[in-house]
Structure 1
Amino acid sequence: MKLKSLLLATFFAAGLGAAHAAEGELSIGTEGEYPPWSMADAAGNVTGFDADVGNLLCAKLEMKCHFVVQAFDGLIPALKAKRFDIIISGMSITAERKKQINFSVGYAELANMFVVKKDSDLAGIKDIDTLLKALDGRTVGVQAGTTHAHFMEKRASSAVLKTYDTLDQMQIDLASGRVEAAFADASALQDFLARPDGKDFQFVDVKVQSTFDPSLGEGIGVGISQENTELKARIDKALCELIADGSIGKASQTWFKADISRPCK
Structure 2
Amino acid sequence: MTADKATIIGLSLVIAMSSAAHADTLQNIIDKGEVAIGVKADFAPWGMRDTNGNVVGLEIDLANDLARKLSEQAGKEITARTVVVTTSNRMEFLEQGRIDVLLATMADTPERRRVVGILQPSYYSSGIAVLAKKDSGIDGWESLEGKSICGIQGSWFNKDYGLKNGAEMVVFAGNAEAEAALLAGRCAGWLYDDASFRARLQSNPEKWADYTIATPVVADAPWGAGVRKQDLAAPIAAAVSDAITEWHKSGTIVELEEKWGLGASDWVLQMQEKCLAENPICDSVRDDSE
TM range, smaller chain: 0.7 to 0.9
The amino acid across from 1:188 in the alignment is S
Q: What is the rounded CA distance, in whole Å, between the counterparts of 1:183 and 1:173 in structure 2? A: 12
Deviation at residue 205 of structure 1 after TM alignment: 5.4
Q: Is the 8 A contact 2:149 2:162 kept in 1?
A: no
The amino acid across from 2:128 in the alignment is N
Task: Show CA shifts across 1:190-210 (max 9, x none).
Answer: 454426553322222522242
Q: Give yes or no for the alignment of 1:243 onto 2:243.
A: no
The amino acid across from 2:106 in the alignment is M
Percent of aligned positions that are identical: 23
The amino acid across from 2:197 in the alignment is L
Q: 1:107 aligns with which of 123, 126, 129?
A: 123
Q: Give yes or no for the alignment of 1:179 onto 2:194.
A: no
**Which residue does 2:136 correspond to in 1?**
120
Q: Is the 8 A contact 2:85 2:104 kept in 1?
A: no
Q: Give yes or no for the alignment of 1:161 onto 2:169.
A: yes
Q: Is the 8 A contact 1:142 1:184 kept in 2?
A: yes
Q: Give yes or no for the alignment of 1:75 onto 2:82.
A: no
Relative contact order (alpha carbons < 8 A, sep ≥ 6): 1 or 2 greater? 1
Q: Is the 8 A contact 2:141 2:215 kept in 1?
A: no
The amino acid across from 2:216 in the alignment is V
Q: Give yes or no for the alignment of 1:22 onto 2:42.
A: no
Structure 2 residue ranges without an equivalent (≥5): 1-20, 72-77, 276-280, 282-290
**Which residue does 1:8 correspond to in 2?**
none
Q: Is the 8 A contact 1:111 1:209 kept in 2?
A: yes
Q: What is the rounded CA distance, in whole Å, between the counterparts of 2:156 and 2:45 in structure 1? A: 18
Q: How does 1:114-263 map to 2 (within 5 A)?
A: 114-122=130-138, 125=139, 131-152=140-161, 155-156=164-165, 158-193=166-201, 194=204, 197-204=207-214, 206-210=216-220, 217=221, 219-228=222-231, 229-230=233-234, 231-255=236-260, 256-259=262-265, 260-261=267-268, 263=271
Q: Is the 8 A contact 1:242 1:248 kept in 2?
A: yes
Distance 1:75 1:209, change over 3 A: same
Deviation at residue 164 of structure 1 after TM alignment: 1.3
The amino acid across from 1:40 in the alignment is R
Task: Show CA shifts across 1:20-73 (max 9, x none).
Answer: 552142100122111111013587632111111112222222232110112321
Q: Give yes or no for the alignment of 1:94 onto 2:109.
A: yes
The amino acid across from 1:189 in the alignment is F
Q: What is the rounded CA distance, in whole Å, between the counterparts of 1:98 and 1:55 in structure 2? A: 25
The amino acid across from 1:136 in the alignment is E
The amino acid across from 1:121 in the alignment is G
SS of corresponding position for 2:29: coil
Q: Is the 8 A contact 1:113 1:207 kept in 2?
A: yes
SS of corresponding position for 1:198: coil
Q: How does 1:25-36 map to 2 (within 5 A)?
A: 25-36=34-45
State the superposition RMSD in angstroms.
2.4
Q: Is the 8 A contact 1:33 1:167 kept in 2?
A: yes
SS of corresponding position for 2:192: strand
Compute the TM-score of the two structures, normalised by the length of structure 1.
Answer: 0.79
Distance 1:150 1:233, change over 3 A: farther
Q: Is the 8 A contact 1:44 1:69 kept in 2?
A: no
The amino acid across from 2:257 in the alignment is S
Structure 1 residue ranges without an equivalent (≥5): 1-17, 126-130, 211-216
Q: What is the rounded CA distance, in whole Å, between the counterparts of 1:76 and 1:104 in structure 2? A: 14
Q: Give yes or no for the alignment of 1:46 onto 2:55.
A: yes
Compute the TM-score of the two structures, normalised by the length of structure 2.
Answer: 0.73
SS of corresponding position for 1:253: helix
Q: Give yes or no for the alignment of 1:60 onto 2:63.
A: no
